[in-house]
Structure 1
Amino acid sequence: MNSLGNLLKNNMRKSSMVIALILIALLFQILTDGTLLKPLNITNLILQNSYILILAVGMVLVIITGHIDLSVGSVAAFVGAVSAILMIEMQMNPWLAVVICLVIGALIGAWQGFWVAYVGIPAFIVTLAGMLLFRGLTLVVLKGQSIAPYPESFQKINNGFIPDLFGGESIHLFSLVIGLLISLVLIALEIRTRNNQLKYRFEVSPTWLFYLKLFSVFAAVNFFTYVLSTYRGIPNILVILFVIIVIYAFVMKKTIVGRHIYAVGGNLKAASLSGIKTKRVTLGVFINMGVLAALSGLIFAARLNAATPRAGNLFELDAIAAVFIGGASAYGGVGTVIGAVVGGLVMGVMNNGMSILGISIDWQQAIKGLVLLAAVAFDIVNKRKN
C-alpha cells in the first residue's frame, strides 16, 4: 500500500487527470441514460474533437518552452479558406492542395517564431497580432462567404472509415484485430520498460499493480475498438490522431529534440549555457505549431464540407485549456503529449455530455472556465508544496 501511495503521489497530476476523465465519463453516462458511450456518440466524440486534440499536441510543445500561441484558431481558419480556393474554385488535386496548405502553415509558424525567438517580442503579443491578422485574411480570402462543397476524397479525411478487410456484416472485424494488436504491442512495451528498470535497479511498482495495469490497458483498448466496431469501425481521423500522438510522444520522451524543448522551458539561461541553440528550438516549436494548426484547419473544413469565415473560433482557448488540464505547467518546462490528449478528452466529454443534457452554450463556457482555473490552481499549489 505504501508503494501504491508513493506511485500515486509521484504521478499525481497524470493519474488525477485520467481518474477525472473516467469519473466525468461515468457521470455523464448516468446522467444521459447511457447515451454518452453509445457507439455512434463515441464516434461523434472522436470526429468533433479531433482538430482540438491535434492543436493540443502542438500547443503542449509551445507551452513547455514557456510560450503561448493565441493565433492557432485564426491560422486554422485561414488555411481552411485557402484550401477551399485551391480545391473548389481552382479544381486543384486535393492532396497537392493539402501539401501546399501544410507548407503555408509552416511558413506562418516560421514568421511568428522569428519574431519570438530572434527579435525577442513576447509570444503573447506576436500571436495576438497573428490572431487578428489571419482572421482578417480569412475574411478577405472568403469575401465574407462560405465556400463548398469539397471533393469527396478530401471529405474522407474526417468523415471516412477504414474498410473491413474481413468483410464483417454486423461487426467491423478488422477494427477488432487492430485493437488486439495495439493492446499486445502496448503490453510488450510496458513489460520491456519494467524489465529495463529492474535491470538497472530502479524502483518499480508492485507486481500485482503492474499486472493490474496490463489488464486495464488490454481491456480498455479492446473495449474501445469493440464499441467502434459495432458502428462503422475505426474512423480515418482516429488513425491520423494515433500516428501523431505516437510520433510526438516518442520525440518528447526518447529524442534529443524533446530533451532540448524541456530544457529551454525549464531554464532558458542554463539551456543556452549548456550549448543548446535555444532560438532554433523556439523557432522549430512555432513552425511545428503552424503545421499542426494548418492540419487542424483542413480537418475541420473536411468535417463541415465547407470553408467558413467563423471557422476556428475559440480553438486556441480549447487547445490551451486541454494542455493545462492535462498537466502542463504555466511556468513552462513541464507537460506531456499524452497529458494534453487526456485534457482534450476531458474537455470533449464535458462538451458532449452537457450538449446531450441540453445545457446552454453560455453555461458550458462558464463551466469550462472554472475547470481550467481549477487545473492551473492545482498546478500552482502542488508546485509550492514541492
Structure 2
Amino acid sequence: MYDDKALLRSADIGVLIDHRSDEEIAAWLQKRHPVTSDKNIWTFWHSGFAQMRPWVQRNVINWVKRLGPDWTVHVVDRVDGSDTSIFNYIDTSLFPQTFIDGTMDGHKAHQGDLVRLPLLWKYGGLWMDAGLILLRHVDDICWKRIEDPESPCELSAVALMHLPDTYTPLNGFLATKRNNPFIKRWHDIYVALWHGVTNAAGFHKHPLLCHLPVFRLPKNVANMTPVEVNYEAFTDYVAHYMCCERLRKLSDPKDGFNGAEWYKEHMLLLNAREEMFYAQEISNWNAQHQFDLLSMPRSGDDVVVDTKWQEAEDFVTSVLANTSMVKLPHGPGKGGLALKMLADIWDDEENHSKDNEEGTFAAYLRYGSTHFDQTREVKKLDWQNPEEEVYTVGYLEPIKS
C-alpha cells in the first residue's frame, strides 16, 4: 500500500521543527504578531483559538511545529476587542455591512469565506482551513514554485471535479504573494453577493452567478449520502467557489484584466483527491471506519498485531507517505451534506482526545505530521481548461443571456 522509502524520519527534518510545548504555542497563537514577509499562514475561527475543538487546536499547533521559524501562523477571529480580531488586520471597507455589524445568521463558514482573500491580498502567504492536518512543508507543496522568479505560478489551490471536465478550485488551501489581482477581484465578486442580505440563501440565483451551473458533489461522496442532496442549497453554501468560476471565465473590457488568460497562465492546481482527501478516498469516505482505525492502539504490551492492526498501520503510513494534507470538513448540514464526517465524531465531547490518544494510530498520525517528511513530488494537476465561452463583461456586472 505504500513505499517506506517515501518517508524520511525525524532526524532528517528535525532542524525545521518548533520544539516549544503545545501550551507555549497555544498561548503564542492567541497573540497578534507582526507581518514581516509573505510567509504567513492564515486561518480563522470566529470565536477565537481558545474556543476551537481540541483536535482543531492541535492541527494549528502542529502547523507551527512543522513549519518552524520561517513561517508565521496567524489565527484571526471575529471577537470584538480581541487582539487577533480581523479588524486589526483588514479595513472594514473590504467587508459587507452584515459582517461588520455581526448580523450574519447563516453558516459560520461564510465568515471565513469573507476574510481569507483580503488577508492573502494584503499580506500574502497561505490560507489553510483550521480543520486541516498538514503532513508536509508548504515550501514543498507549492511555495517554492510561487517564489521562483522563473515560474509563472502565482496562485496555488487544490481542485475537485464538480462538473464534467471542469476542476473547481476549493478555498481551504490557497497560496499566493500579496497584491494578487485575481484574489482581489474574486473577493470583490463575493462581497457583492452580500449586499443587503445576512445569509447565503439563494446565492446561486444572484445576477452575478445565475449563468453558472450548480455544483455537484463528486460521485464517490454523493453515493454515500443517505439523503438526496439539495444541489441548489449546496451551491449557495459553496458560492465562494462559484465566484472564482465566474472570474476565470471572463475578460473585463473596462480594466483589461482577462481572468481566463490569467488563470490558465498563473494558476497552480493540485488534485484534491490526491493531496487533500486521500485519507477519505482510500477509506471509501467511511468516517466511522476512519475513527475506528485511528483509535486502535498501535503500541503497548497488550497490542496484538493482527489483520486489523495491519490495516490501521497501512492506512496511516500510506496517508503519511502519499498526501500533503488531510482536510476534515464538517458538512453544511440541512440542504447539503448529510454524511457524518470524522470531524463530527471528534467534535463529540467523549472523543476530544481520540485524535491524539497516547499509543494509538491517531497519535502516530500526529507524530508523523511533524516528524516525517515525504520524498515524492507534489505534481501539478494535469488538466487543460476546456474550450469554454469567455464572457466579455465587467467582473461586477451581470452576464446578459
TM-score band by shorter chain is under 0.3
Instruction: Return the structure number with greater relative CO, CA threshold 8 A, min gap 6.
Output: 1
Considering fraction of residues, name the structure with more helix.
1
Higher share in strand: 2
TM-score by length of 2: 0.27
TM-score by length of 1: 0.28
